[in-house]
């Protein structure tokens, strides 16, 4: 019997590719009636790109995205704070890649259909419950239209890769409380702009108290003028928020005022935002870490297992690591129940640490520290405010917790 993958997002498709690589049979069931090119930019850190490379996808992804050279920090007055090299420019064997989420998903989906067979990727299958017995699981689905009936699907195990609104998670934890709101709301978009800084720089600027912006290019050479597709995220402390929905449209007037006085000689933030092709709004929420992921032949993966604040460019990376470790466990153990428990034992604590780190000290804690120490004012010299060693320590600590310090990643054996 097959391993039943509930959800056809980044985590679910990576799991399907990994299982195929390990010669394990699977099927993917996605609730949406068809795949649409939705979303905005995403950043794949070197630990995620290592796994993409080992799945044979690095070259395709590099052609579709931009290899990130550096991460730079500025305050809202345009004053430079700190920068560090990223990916292969920092000694990793693999790049850090900025790419449109739709491009990443398209590359994964094409590979899954080619390798496991298009007939094993099902759309319009909304999972409503999973039953299990000694010999396997039975997944029950409904179609996209009211009254649609879909025969149940049997498998050796079922993995909930169904994202932030996971049906599988709700079945396993029916009394779990609502998402935990950070007090920060986000607006996201993509704009066609001239390259800034190196043309492959990722910038974090401002502070959450008065308004923070994240920008980075995700596609090169859109026209004869060399314009790029720039991904941007605006973040602000906001007392109210709506339910989390990655595709909810946002309004520019709700946040643009916080950035209208910004002045950077190398980039016009306001013009970039006003030129955006799309604006999406999303509250920065997560869930409390779960005490358990695996129940017999059922387990969770990615956002279904550990939804986290989208800080540190690490949400997709953790889902990819989940998929690879789970595949290794299923490949090594004949008993799927034991394999799912081994997967949980290896991944749950590590992923939950990232959830908590994203709350407290992600890389953008650098901006928070500078804002606190300067009381929101310009500085004469950043060295009078905070040392470069302190700034580097914040960044390195995050890499250690998230599992992508240079030496550890370069030296460790393959996950699968």
List, for residues 5-21, the tens digit of each pLDDT value: 999 999 999 999 999 99
Cβ–Cβ under 8 Å, residues 245 and 283: no
The SS3 of residue 299 is strand
pLDDT at 390 over 90: yes
Work out the average pLDDT over 148-172.
Answer: 94
d(CA 12, CA 22): 15
Cβ–Cβ under 8 Å, residues 23 and 328: no
Work out the average pLDDT over 391-407.
Answer: 91
d(CA 32, CA 39): 15
Work out the average pLDDT over 102-125.
Answer: 97
- Specify the pLDDT at position 312: 80
Cβ–Cβ under 8 Å, residues 16 and 28: yes
pLDDT at 101 over 90: yes
Domain ranges within the chain, ordered by starting residue: 3-38+102-178+288-359
- Specify the pLDDT at position 249: 86
**Which of 65-69, 346-350, 392-396 shows the lowest mean pLDDT across its residues?**
392-396
pLDDT at 127 over 90: yes
Confidence of residue 264 (pLDDT cuts 50, 70, 90): very high
Per residue in 216-253, is it b (16+ CB within 10 Å) or e — as a string?
A: bbbbbeeeeeebbbbbbbbbbebeebeebebeeebeee
Q: Specify the residue for token string 């079922």.
A: 158
Which of 7-21, 142-156, 245-259, 278-292 shows the highest mean pLDDT? 7-21
d(CA 85, CA 81): 14
Q: State both tokens at 102.
A: 């739709």
Confidence of residue 244 (pLDDT cuts 50, 70, 90): low
Q: Specify the residue for token string 């689905």.
A: 141
| Phi–psi pair at 229, nearest 5 degrees | -90, 115
d(CA 61, CA 54): 13
- Specify the pLDDT at position 138: 97
- Specify the pLDDT at position 35: 85
Q: How far is the CA of 45 from the CAs of 42, 67, 202, 317, in angstroms?
A: 10, 10, 12, 7
pLDDT at 415 over 90: yes
Percent of the chain scoring above 70 in pLDDT: 98
Confidence of residue 241 (pLDDT cuts 50, 70, 90): low
The SS3 of residue 370 is helix
At the topology level of CATH, where does 3-38+102-178+288-359 sit?
A: FAD/NAD(P)-binding domain (3.50.50)
Give the predicted TM-score (pTM) of the model: 0.95
Give the residues across from 150 on adjacent strands.
141
d(CA 127, CA 129): 6
Residues 6+ apart with CB under 8 A from 31: 7, 124, 125, 126, 127, 144, 162
Residues 6+ apart with CB under 8 A from 284: 181, 182, 183, 184, 185, 186, 235, 309, 310, 311
Confidence of residue 246 (pLDDT cuts 50, 70, 90): low
Percent of the chain scoring above 90 in pLDDT: 81
Task: Kindly calculate the radius of gyration of the chain based on its CA atoms and give it in whole angstroms.
Answer: 21
Q: Which long-range contacts (CB under 8 A, 24 or more apart) does 367-373 make?
A: 367/73, 367/75, 367/81, 367/204, 367/205, 367/206, 367/207, 367/208, 367/212, 368/207, 368/208, 369/394, 370/73, 370/75, 370/81, 370/207, 371/75, 371/207, 371/209
- Specify the pLDDT at position 245: 61
The SS3 of residue 91 is coil
| Phi–psi pair at 415, nearest 5 degrees | -75, -30
């Amino acid at each position: 019997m097959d391993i039943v993958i509930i959800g056809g997002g980044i985590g679910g498709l990576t799991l399907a590719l990994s299982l195929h690589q390990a010669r394990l049979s699977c099927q993917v069931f996605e609730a949406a009636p068809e795949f649409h090119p939705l979303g905005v930019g995403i950043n794949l850190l070197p630990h995620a790109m290592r796994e993409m490379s080992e799945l044979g996808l690095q070259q395709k992804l590099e052609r579709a995205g931009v290899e990130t050279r550096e991460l730079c920090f500025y305050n809202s007055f345009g004053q430079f704070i700190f920068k560090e090299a990223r990916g292969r420019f920092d000694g990793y064997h693999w790049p850090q890649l900025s790419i449109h989420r739709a491009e990443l998903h398209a590359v994964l989906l094409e590979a899954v259909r080619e390798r496991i067979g298009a007939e094993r990727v099902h759309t319009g299958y909304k999972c409503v419950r999973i039953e299990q017995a000694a010999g396997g699981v039975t997944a029950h689905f409904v179609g996209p239209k009211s009254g649609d009936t879909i025969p149940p699907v049997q498998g050796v195990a079922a993995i909930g890769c169904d994202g932030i609104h996971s049906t599988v998670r709700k079945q396993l934890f029916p009394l779990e409380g609502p998402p935990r709101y950070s007090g920060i709301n986000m607006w996201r978009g993509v704009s066609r702009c001239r390259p800034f800084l190196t043309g492959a720089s990722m910038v974090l600027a401002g502070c959450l108290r008065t308004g923070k912006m994240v920008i980075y290019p995700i596609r090169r050479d859109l026209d004869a003028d060399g314009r790029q597709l720039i991904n941007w995220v605006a973040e602000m402390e906001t007392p109210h928020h709506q339910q989390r929905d990655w595709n909810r449209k946002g309004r520019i007037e709700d946040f643009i005022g916080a950035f209208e006085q910004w002045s950077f000689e190398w980039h016009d933030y306001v013009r970039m935002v006003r030129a955006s092709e799309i604006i999406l709004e999303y509250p920065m929420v997560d869930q409390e870490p779960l005490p358990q992921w695996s129940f017999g032949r059922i387990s969770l993966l990615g956002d279904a297992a550990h939804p986290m604040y989208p800080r540190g460019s690490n949400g997709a990376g953790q889902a990819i690591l989940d998929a690879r470790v789970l595949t290794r466990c299923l490949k090594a153990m004949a008993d799927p129940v034991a394999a799912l428990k081994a997967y949980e034992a290896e991944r749950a604590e590590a992923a939950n640490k990232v959830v908590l780190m994203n709350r407290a000290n992600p890389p953008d804690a650098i901006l928070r520290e500078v804002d606190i120490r300067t009381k929101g004012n310009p500085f004469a010299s950043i060295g009078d405010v905070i040392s470069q060693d302190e700034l580097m320590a914040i960044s390195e600590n995050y890499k250690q917790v998230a599992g992508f310090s240079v030496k550890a990643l370069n030296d460790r054996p393959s996950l699968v």
